[in-house]
Amino acid sequence: MEYKVLKLDVDHGIALITINRPEVLNALNTNFFVEMNYILDKLELDDTLKAVIITGVDKAFVAGADIAEMSEMDYNHARSFALTGQDTFLRIENFSVPVIAAVNGFALGGGCELAMACDFRVASNKAKFSQPEVSLGLIPGYAGTQRLSRIAGISNALYMIVSGDMITADDALRMGLVQKVTEPEELLAEAKALAGRISTKGAKAVKKAKEVIRKGILMDFDEACRYEAEEFATLFGNGESGEGMKAFMEKRKPNW
């Protein structure tokens, strides 16, 4: 496929996906979802993959969904557009390896929703976050009402969504929406460093941890704890855990 919206680079098990529509501040359109799903299909086949980073070019991460495209939609088209976004972002959320959003600038509307679908968010101190859909007479459509309330709490979600106010990276850090804030010139290096640290851990354990957390949060506590115990046990005898514990006792780095 010839990419019109996205760029993909894979290096030493770390995939970098860059959203490249600077003329519209990387707004999400139908082509974005087609290309993102194609890339996810491709990356799912890469057994050497350790982590994925998503970022945007120039001064925006993503400044929202493409309003020019949305303005022509009726009920059926709008519902399909929302479901396509939800399905794509759910694929990112459930992707087998950790996905890091490197938020370089505006993460507004669909951009904030994309960032929330990632496992971690590292932000430039110039980044801005907002769910401004009410200003258009709309609400978030890519599961923003649900992810934001789960990540930052109901009151913070209501505040951001009902007011439409834009918040800083430091504000986002305080409410748990962001895990780390960096200088703009250090953003991508910080995201890659995090991906690099993850890549040194047991690959099966990293994937299992993400799976258990993502699935367990949807269960009641007792059920989730039993599920954790079962999945914990499956990691014994697979070779990786044996090497990890042996390396610890021998005071050396594991040879995965």
185 is catalytic: no
Residue 104 burial by Cβ neighbours in a 10 Å radius (0-12, 13-18, 19+): buried
C-beta separation of 98 from 206 below 8 A: yes
CA distances to 121, 147, 149, 178, 216 from 181, in Å? 9, 20, 21, 7, 28
Q: Which position among 133, 183, 190, 240 bears the catalytic label?
A: 133
Q: What is the DSSP letter of 28?
A: B
Q: In what order do the strands lie in the sheet containing 60-62?
A: 60-62, 106-108, 128-130, 167-168
C-beta separation of 180 from 122 below 8 A: yes
Map residue 102 onto helix, strand or coil. strand
Residue whose token pair is 């493409």: 66
Residue whose token pair is 């258009």: 136
Q: Which position among 113, 230, 243, 250 bears the catalytic label?
A: 113
113 is catalytic: yes
Known catalytic residues? 113, 133
